[in-house]
Amino acid sequence: MCSINDILSPDAYKIGEQLWSEHLKKHPKDPYILKNAASYFFFSDESLAEELLKRGKALRPKDPEWSDKLARLHRSGELKDAARALTELEESYKLQRGSPGGLSYLEDLPLYAFEAGEYALAKKYANKLLVCAKEARDEADKSQYINRAFTALGLLEIQNKNTSSAKEYLLKSADVTGSPVLNSFGPNFVLAKELFNLDEKEIVLEYLKLCSKFWYRAHETNMEKWTTQIMSGEFPDEFSTCC
């Protein structure tokens, strides 16, 4: 479901807004309409998106996608609530636990738990993800689980003021073959940024070098630019858009 930027294309957005309003009046209990309308308003009207997702969830409580979308809505923006985001994502995971679909939710749970200040839970989910990585037959899945798990474990070490272990986990998180997500959107840089803020520039550059084996954007030209920025005390803006 595509969305129209209300700032870049205000006229087109207004037309879409009117059309979705009409659909919602005609079909107030249609889960398909509710889900797609929520996607349309996800960034432009978060309160409306939340209302639509709640209505859809009430109609289809066993569909994990409703809670997943609510979790992402509450992870950032005007409705940011880390505890609520974690609760919603855990609901999605529980509905799919034991199935391949459940692992897609488990991937995000360590970081969601960390952001909510649930550090013991973050460690539990990260370790569970590492077990899944050992059992994974697909290298892409294994790479995803390792990157997410060690990123969360590294953040926990930062929390415990154990920089040495955090650095080890940062490198372990990039010791992977890659996946469609990692190869295109890139790895998670939240742990790298925390270490950068502790003046651990060399380890961040080492992390980047490992990432260049799978991340298409980490080619020679960008690597030279990023190295210059990092060594001069500037954390590249591009990293904020990565996974």
Do residues 122 and 110 make contact, with C-beta atoms less than 8 angstroms apart?
yes
Do residues 146 and 187 make contact, with C-beta atoms less than 8 angstroms apart?
no
- For residue 1, what pLDDT is reported? 54
Q: What percent of the chain has pLDDT over 70?
A: 98
Does residue 242 carry a pLDDT above 90?
A: no
Q: How far apart are CA 149 and CA 112, in angstroms?
A: 12
Q: How far apart are CA 193 and CA 242, in angstroms?
A: 12
> Which among 141, 165, 135, 140 is positioned nearest to 153, based on CA atoms?
165
Domain parsing of the chain, residue ranges:
62-119, 137-243
Mean pLDDT of 54-75: 96
Q: DSSP per residue over 193-221, as a string?
A: HHHHHTT-HHHHHHHHHHHTTT-TT--HH
Do residues 147 and 188 make contact, with C-beta atoms less than 8 angstroms apart?
yes
Mean pLDDT of 3-22: 89
pLDDT in tens, 111-151: 999 999 999 999 999 999 999 999 999 999 999 999 999 99
- For residue 40, what pLDDT is reported? 95
- For residue 2, what pLDDT is reported? 61
pLDDT in tens, 201-234: 999 999 999 999 999 887 888 999 999 999 999 9
Looking at per-residue confidence, does 39 or 217 come out higher? 39
Do residues 109 and 69 make contact, with C-beta atoms less than 8 angstroms apart?
no
Mean pLDDT of 180-189: 92
Q: Is 149 exposed, middle or buried (0-12, 13-18, 19+ CB in 10 A)?
A: buried
What amino acid is encoded at 64 in this protein? P
Average pLDDT value for the chain: 93
8 contact partners, CB below 8 Å, separation of at least 6:
none
> Which among 221, 211, 220 is positioned nearest to 182, based on CA atoms?
211
